[in-house]
Amino acid sequence: MQPSWEKHYAERTQKVTGSIIRELLKLTQQPDIISFAGGLPAPEVFPLQKFQEACNTILGSQGPQSLQYSTTEGHPPFRKMIAEDTAREGIKIPPDLVQITSGSQQALDFVGRMLINRGDKIVVESPTYLGALQAWAVYGAQYLTVPMDEHGMRMDKLEEALKANPKFIYVLPNFQNPSGATLTLERRQELVELADKYGIPIVEDDPYSRLRFEGEHIPSVLALDARYRNQTEDNYNGNVIYMSTFSKLLAPGLRLAWVIAPKEIIQKLIFIKQAADLHTSTFNQMVAYEAARDGYLDKHIEIIRTTYHERRDVMLETMDEVFPTEVKYTRPEGGMFLWASLPEGMDTTEIFKKAVEQKVAFVPGTAFSPDGGEKNSMRINFSFCGPDDIREGITRLGTLLKELVYSK
Amino acid sequence: MQPSWEKHYAERTQKVTGSIIRELLKLTQQPDIISFAGGLPAPEVFPLQKFQEACNTILGSQGPQSLQYSTTEGHPPFRKMIAEDTAREGIKIPPDLVQITSGSQQALDFVGRMLINRGDKIVVESPTYLGALQAWAVYGAQYLTVPMDEHGMRMDKLEEALKANPKFIYVLPNFQNPSGATLTLERRQELVELADKYGIPIVEDDPYSRLRFEGEHIPSVLALDARYRNQTEDNYNGNVIYMSTFSKLLAPGLRLAWVIAPKEIIQKLIFIKQAADLHTSTFNQMVAYEAARDGYLDKHIEIIRTTYHERRDVMLETMDEVFPTEVKYTRPEGGMFLWASLPEGMDTTEIFKKAVEQKVAFVPGTAFSPDGGEKNSMRINFSFCGPDDIREGITRLGTLLKELVYSK
């Protein structure tokens, strides 16, 4: 009998297909395109020399141990360093509440695996992070979207969604991907209280908080939840699963991220990770720790901040100059993305194709919506391209947008 | 409201708990124990210097690209090398039928994610690989066990299981973990034909085939299936999902493995991996390729073979000397494990505790059975401990077994 895979697929696999967005984004890989579509860090800021030194140091000092199997939880000094860095938020996290994952995409997958039954409702911001939607599609998630404004998720709209008894609230409070918006302190406090009132967990995805160029750092939802429960000086046992990553602080090719959560959740994550991939690369954890420790990471993040700050400024200045005034865009205080909204009725998926012809690219807003919304918006990345390319690319995009807006 | 996670867990998570075996194995981590329990490669054979050279070469030649995000499928030259190595089996595999995974535990997880609905039946050898049982527990697999003898899975018992309409057949044909048994050529051919007759896919897990010390190499089930379908000179489009790993050939701490399968399956795996962890570490793939290429891997595997061959010989010689004749054990022609069977009625989980008191450890057989079988057997690893420790540890174990067998 010729093999027929179709009938062997699990129910979840039958629904797994390529997205239109993924197909569109292949167009951005032509070499002469200035692409603001990707979410890539600037390769210029990768700490190559430090990393090379760290590789040699680790192979010398740890020897074969650095290439051997290791614990599912993660490399102990690495977890300890992460716990200590978290203490700056005014919350004392013991290292055993830190789980290392292979990138934060894996943390999103594990959260889905742990919490989502087919048909469960998840509260997300609109727009929200594409990778989370991809991770949770496997588990059959349904979504309740809460609109955002320039101050992040609108709390006056959240309570309505919580009454529908969702599994958890997914929030990206700092320089959100894709919108660039930051949730204010007041709203974070409100979020903590509302989640507590309805007994709904919060999944806080925080890749960018240390990439702030201006304004004051706002404590994480994790830290605020701990304060709300008076758990700042003890083991955290609250309502938040927090995740962050080294992809934007050191280098994404290492696939290193982490989760901080109550002991009970970490325990589950250990079993989940054991079954999923045993553990994250021993060598990469040791090398990243070696490179980051003793204050190097802080100094290195300064370089990233300065670089992205300049690029954001160049982008906003050029936009102010060349974009039609009918196009509104966010002015993020950090991170890697901003969000532009065109007049109602315009469709950025259509505009994307015209932009590619003009050799410039972005991601159409609808990629960030679980329900086909955000049609007239686009995500624009400012971390990857250098200042000259930003000026040139934004000018091309502005010219096209003017044409389209004024011909309407 | 105090957070209560319990009611938020997905159905699959509620069943996720620590195994008794996992708890037992913690006992083997005392420093003065000679442990044959783990499945660790000998750290002495890790190619440290070559690896260090490769790190420096890659950081020099590839620069920031080696630390950047990369494709979900895997590093192209790495996939090409794997495809070319596979050609030795007499089957032509194009590189785009190779998917890189983060260890073969991840490949097992992805197979489960792709194929298993809750309650689906999977055909496994008895005993079978513990890691597969862990991976598929998440997806609610049920098992149909087929007994093995010294020639691997018994084909006369397989057909019965296939009539129960399983989702796939899981087979570890070379120096099986845990039994050390190798499936004969005749049985492999029979397996291919039976699977074809009933239209049931085969998942071939092959971490050890290149670690053969004696006897002739037997072609993979993948290659035999291709031959059966006359697909040896074309794209493979048969019945087998094949997986192997660099964990036993280079070093497990890199978390590098691969899957070879028909295009349709690879396509699904790309979407699954995209959602699960985006891609495997760019740096690790580049460095492993750089270290392995141009024949180095072949030469290096010679060293591993020689080392494990000696250790297996020392172990078997010592067992022949000190084990009671009532204890039967396999004589694997390669790999890392052998399997000892005690007289019926003896319980190796009980004996494990006594062995740990005598400062020697193994894994009780029941860990490798989905239905609590294999109670009177044990898995013994011969790759990790050096010859002196093997002699000493096996002597301790033999002394204990004699006491127990003769006091019965």
Please report where in the chains the tokens 């304004």 appear, as a residue: A215
Q: How far apart are CA B250 and CA A394, in angstroms?
A: 47
Report yes or no: B291 and B54 within 8 Å, Cβ to Cβ. Answer: yes
For residue B132, give the chain A residue with the closest CA: A275
- Interface check A105 vs B, CB under 8 A: yes
Domain assignment present for residue B52? The answer is no
Q: Chain A partners of B274 at a C-beta cutoff of 8 Å?
A: 134
Name residue A38's amino acid.
G
Nearest 5°: CA angle at A22, between A17 and A26?
A: 135
Nearest 5°: CA angle at A14, between A8 and A16?
A: 130
- Interface check A75 vs B, CB under 8 A: no
Please report where in the chains the tokens 């706002």 appear, as a residue: A218
Domain assignment present for residue B120? The answer is yes
Phi and psi for A321 in degrees, rounded to 5? Answer: -75, -50
Torsion of CA A21, A22, A28, A30, to 10 degrees: -140
For residue B133, give the chain A residue with the closest CA: A275
What is the distance, to the nearest Å, from the Cα of residue A136 to the centroid of all Cα atoms in its chain? Answer: 14
Report yes or no: A143 and A122 within 8 Å, Cβ to Cβ. Answer: yes
Q: Looking at B295, B326, B347, which one is the last position of a domain? A: B295
Q: Looking at the 3D structure of chain A, how many domains does it have?
A: 2
Do residues B354 and B226 both lie within one domain? no
Do residues A232 and A274 both lie within one domain? yes
pLDDT reported for residue A4 = 80
Burial A287-316 (b: 16+ CB within 10 A, else e): bbbbbbeeeebeebbeebbebbbebbebbb
pLDDT reported for residue B148 = 95
Report yes or no: A398 and A322 within 8 Å, Cβ to Cβ. Answer: yes
> For residue A260, what are the CA distances in angstroms to A95, A119, A172, A242, B167?
9, 26, 15, 5, 37
Q: Chain B partners of A201 at a C-beta cutoff of 8 Å?
A: 3, 5, 8
- Interface check B239 vs A, CB under 8 A: yes
Q: Looking at B277, B295, B313, which one is the last position of a domain? A: B295
Over its length of 408 residues, how does chain B's per-residue pLDDT go in tens digits? Answer: 567 888 888 888 877 666 666 777 777 778 899 999 999 999 999 999 999 999 999 999 999 999 999 999 999 999 999 999 998 888 999 999 999 999 999 999 999 999 999 999 999 999 999 999 999 999 999 999 999 999 999 999 999 999 999 999 999 999 999 999 999 999 999 999 999 999 999 999 999 999 999 999 999 999 999 999 998 777 899 999 999 999 999 999 999 999 999 999 999 999 999 999 999 999 999 999 999 999 999 999 999 999 999 999 999 999 999 999 999 999 999 999 999 999 999 999 999 999 999 999 999 999 999 988 999 999 999 999 999 999 999 999 999 999 999 886
Domain assignment present for residue B57? The answer is no
Indicate the helix (H) or strand (E) that contains B395.
helix B387-406
Partnered with residue A381 across adjacent β-strands are A337
Nearest 5°: CA angle at B286, between B283 and B291?
A: 120
Distance from CA of A257 to the nearest CA of B (A): 11
pLDDT reported for residue B152 = 96
> For residue B268, what are the CA distances in angstroms to A104, B134, B273, B383?
21, 22, 9, 35
Tens-digit pLDDT profile for residues A331-365: 999 999 999 999 999 999 999 999 999 999 999 99
List A residues 305-334 in contact with B (Cβ-Cβ < 8 A).
Answer: none
> How many residues does this entry show for chain A?
408
Smallest Cα–Cα separation from B335: which of B359, B355, B315, B356? B315
- Mean pLDDT over residues A72-91, rounded? 94
- Interface check A44 vs B, CB under 8 A: yes
CATH of the domain at B80: 3.40.640.10
Burial class (CB in 10 A: 0-12, 13-18, 19+), A65: middle
Do residues B266 and B243 both lie within one domain? yes
Number of neighbouring beta carbons within 10 Å of residue B374? 23
Asked if B10's CB is within 8 angstroms of A113's CB, the reply is yes
pLDDT reported for residue B57 = 98
Indicate the helix (H) or strand (E) that contains B260.
strand B257-260
β pairing state of B240-245 and B202-205: parallel
Domain assignment present for residue A267? The answer is yes
Do residues A286 and A356 both lie within one domain? no
Nearest 5°: CA angle at B73, between A339 and B62?
A: 80
Asked if A254's CB is within 8 angstroms of B138's CB, the reply is no
pLDDT reported for residue A43 = 94
Q: How far apart are CA A64 and CA B95, in angstroms?
A: 31
Choose the closest CB to A13 out of B114, B247, B252. Answer: B114
- Mean pLDDT over residues A293-314, rounded? 97
- Interface check B29 vs A, CB under 8 A: no
Mean pLDDT of chain A: 94
- Mean pLDDT over residues A159-180, rounded? 97
> For residue A401, what are the CA distances in angstroms to A34, A153, A384, B376?
16, 28, 22, 75
Per-residue 3-state assignment (H helix, E strand, C coil) for A22-45:
HHHHHHHHCCCCEECCCCCCCHHH
Do residues B99 and B231 both lie within one domain? yes
pTM of the model: 0.96
CATH of the domain at B24: 3.90.1150.10
Two tokens at B343? 């007289």
Do residues A303 and A287 both lie within one domain? no
Domain assignment present for residue A1? The answer is no
pLDDT reported for residue A27 = 79
Name residue B17's amino acid.
T
> For residue A274, what are the CA distances in angstroms to A203, A257, B16, B138, B384?
21, 16, 11, 11, 21
List A residues 283-302 in contact with B (Cβ-Cβ < 8 A).
Answer: 283-284
pLDDT reported for residue A23 = 74
Q: Looking at A240, A269, A296, which one is the last position of a domain? A: A296
Do residues A145 and A274 both lie within one domain? yes
pLDDT reported for residue B16 = 67
Distance from CA of B151 to the nearest CA of A (A): 27
Q: Chain A partners of B228 at a C-beta cutoff of 8 Å?
A: none
What is the distance, to the nearest Å, from the Cα of residue B23 to the centroid of all Cα atoms in its chain? Answer: 21
Query: Is the model's pLDDT at A180 over the cut of 60?
Result: yes
Asked if A275's CB is within 8 angstroms of B109's CB, the reply is yes
Asked if B264's CB is within 8 angstroms of A13's CB, the reply is no
Do residues B101 and B39 both lie within one domain? no
Tens-digit pLDDT profile for residues B315-369: 999 999 999 999 999 999 999 999 999 999 999 999 999 999 999 999 999 999 9
Report yes or no: A380 and A362 within 8 Å, Cβ to Cβ. Answer: yes
pLDDT reported for residue B4 = 80
pLDDT reported for residue B7 = 85
Partnered with residue B142 across adjacent β-strands are B121
Report yes or no: A393 and A400 within 8 Å, Cβ to Cβ. Answer: no
Number of neighbouring beta carbons within 10 Å of residue B208? 26
- Interface check B252 vs A, CB under 8 A: yes
Q: How far apart are CA A22 and CA A36, in angstroms?
A: 15
Asked if B282's CB is within 8 angstroms of A167's CB, the reply is no
Q: Chain A partners of B120 at a C-beta cutoff of 8 Å?
A: 10
| Number of Cα atoms under 13 Å in the Cβ half of residue A300 | 21
H helix and E strand count, chain B:
14, 14
Report yes or no: A304 and A208 within 8 Å, Cβ to Cβ. Answer: no
Q: How far apart are CA B205 and CA A158, in angstroms?
A: 48
Number of neighbouring beta carbons within 10 Å of residue A90? 14
- Interface check B264 vs A, CB under 8 A: yes
Do residues A254 and A171 both lie within one domain? yes
pLDDT reported for residue B160 = 95
pLDDT reported for residue A7 = 85
Do residues B17 and B160 both lie within one domain? no
Report yes or no: A204 and A261 within 8 Å, Cβ to Cβ. Answer: no
Domain assignment present for residue B62? The answer is no
Q: Map residue B361 onto helix, strand or coil.
A: strand
- Mean pLDDT over residues A252-274, rounded? 96
Smallest Cα–Cα separation from B124: which of B114, B91, B135? B135
Contacts of A222 (CB under 8 A, 6+ apart): A86, A89, A91, A204, A236, A238, A240, A242, A260
Report yes or no: B273 and B101 within 8 Å, Cβ to Cβ. Answer: yes
Asked if A70's CB is within 8 angstroms of B48's CB, the reply is no
Of A19-33, A39-53, A387-401, B216-230, where does mean pLDDT reach its minimum? A19-33
- Interface check B21 vs A, CB under 8 A: no
Do residues B150 and B262 both lie within one domain? yes
- Mean pLDDT over residues A129-143, rounded? 94
What is the distance, to the nearest Å, from the Cα of residue B33 to the centroid of all Cα atoms in its chain? Answer: 24
pLDDT reported for residue A19 = 67
> How many residues does this entry show for chain B?
408
Kindly report each contact of residues B28-31 with a partner whose C-beta sits within 8 Å and lies 24 or more positions away, as own/partner. Answer: B28/B356, B28/B361, B30/B356, B30/B359
Domain assignment present for residue B89? The answer is yes
Q: How far apart are CA B108 and CA A105, in angstroms?
A: 19
Asked if B105's CB is within 8 angstroms of A277's CB, the reply is yes
Domain assignment present for residue A191? The answer is yes
* Full residue range of the structural domain in which residue A349 is found: 6-47+298-406
Two tokens at A97? 């509440």
Query: Is the model's pLDDT at A408 over the cut of 80?
Result: no
Choose the closest CB to A16 out of B167, B268, B277. Answer: B268
Q: Map residue A164 onto helix, strand or coil.
A: coil
Asked if B56's CB is within 8 angstroms of A48's CB, the reply is no
Q: Mutate which of B49, B65, B68, B162 to test chain A, going by most A C-beta atoms within 10 A?
A: B68
Do residues A79 and A193 both lie within one domain? yes
Of A7-21, A46-60, B132-146, B156-170, where does mean pLDDT reach its minimum? A7-21
For residue A120, give the chain B residue with the closest CA: B10
Phi and psi for B374 in degrees, rounded to 5? Answer: 60, 30
**DSSP calls for B172-223:** --SS-TTT-----HHHHHHHHHHHHHHT--EEEE-SSTT-B-SS-----HHH
